[in-house]
Amino acid sequence: MIAPQKETHHNWIVRENFSGTDIYLAQAKTILNKATGFMNSYDFTLNPYRGCQYGCSYCYAAAFSPDKNRRQNWGNWVIVKENAAQILEKELARWQQKFPNIAPKIYLSSVTDPYQPLEVKRQLTRSLLKVMLAYQPTLVIQTRSPMIIRDIDLLSQFQRLRINLSIPTGSERVRKDFEPRSPSIKSRLQTINKLKYNIPVKANYDIRFSVTITPLLPTFPEDEINFIQQLTVVDRVVLQDFHPSNNNTLTASTRKNAIALKDKYAWWYGNNKHSYQNFKQKLQDYFTALLADVEIMEGKAGFGFD
């Protein structure tokens, strides 16, 4: 389970509308949240926003919405933590004072996408990267957005960095069903290539790249080989099935929207375990035949830095 985020004070007045999304502004009391459960290999999770414009049908983060209405309206609202960079500076300074010889491990982000479309205007994530550079944490960034390329100048300065690019399927038709607001598969594959080949290799710097196929969605047979071939640019591929479904709040859970879509893909979900293992085996066989140095990891283990 991913720990729920601490509440920020807001009065639920819509401050603006950005591309059809209601935007609320908040002053965060804290920005570094203690990492627990699924993310407990880190010291902190860091979420510059609450809510996410991508609104993916399967997203577990909807469970951590402030109320029932916003759980049901996931994808159509975002809370901007306006003072995130200032709070981060204070919290990292406190960490450094307490642990002068230990850099914190930070996961950006656990319940939002730090590069959702609103980031173009707000540049909140970019401001956080600037603050973190002075403290050099071990940093993992989780996103599905090509916008991350904008920050290559900053990313290149981190000494211990892993970038996880989320690509749950190799088929555009599937993406359009499960995550229609998200960037195309092609653009995401191009993004991981640009990151890999434009962030310079430096002595004593540890920069790593993952594709997280999480949750593993169907990929049509005619798309599999092309998709798998393009994954050899990374050092890790992470697989994970849907989160268990339940009606509890504050528990990572697959939304009803995605569960309803399963019927359309009965050829895959009729024997989900077989489909999952078959795809995993094809990955292994291809990487082995190519002698590609790509590790395949599953679930929680795949989201650690190492």
Give the pLDDT of residue 2: 46
Helix axes 84-98, 124-133, angle to 10 degrees: 20
Backbone angles phi, psi at 102, to 5 degrees: -125, 120
Residue appearing with tokens 């929680």: 300
Q: What is the pLDDT of residues 25-54, one digit of tens each?
A: 999 999 999 999 889 999 999 999 999 999
Q: What ranges in 34-150 are assigned the alpha helix state H?
A: 68-72, 84-98, 119-122, 124-133
Give the global pTM.
0.92
Q: Count how many Cα atoms sit within 13 Å of the Cα of residue 186 in the half-sphere of its side chain.
A: 2
- Tokens representing 103 are 């850099």
| Structural domains of the chain sorted by starting position, each given as residue range(s) with its CATH number in brackets | 16-303 (3.80.30.30)
SS3 45: strand
At a CB cut-off of 8 Å and minimum separation 6, what does 289 contact? none
Report residues of the chain scoring pLDDT below 50.
1-9, 250-251, 253
Q: Count how many Cα atoms sit within 13 Å of the Cα of residue 12 in the half-sphere of its side chain.
A: 5
Give the pLDDT of residue 243: 64
123: left (phi over 0), alpha (psi -120 to 50) or beta: left
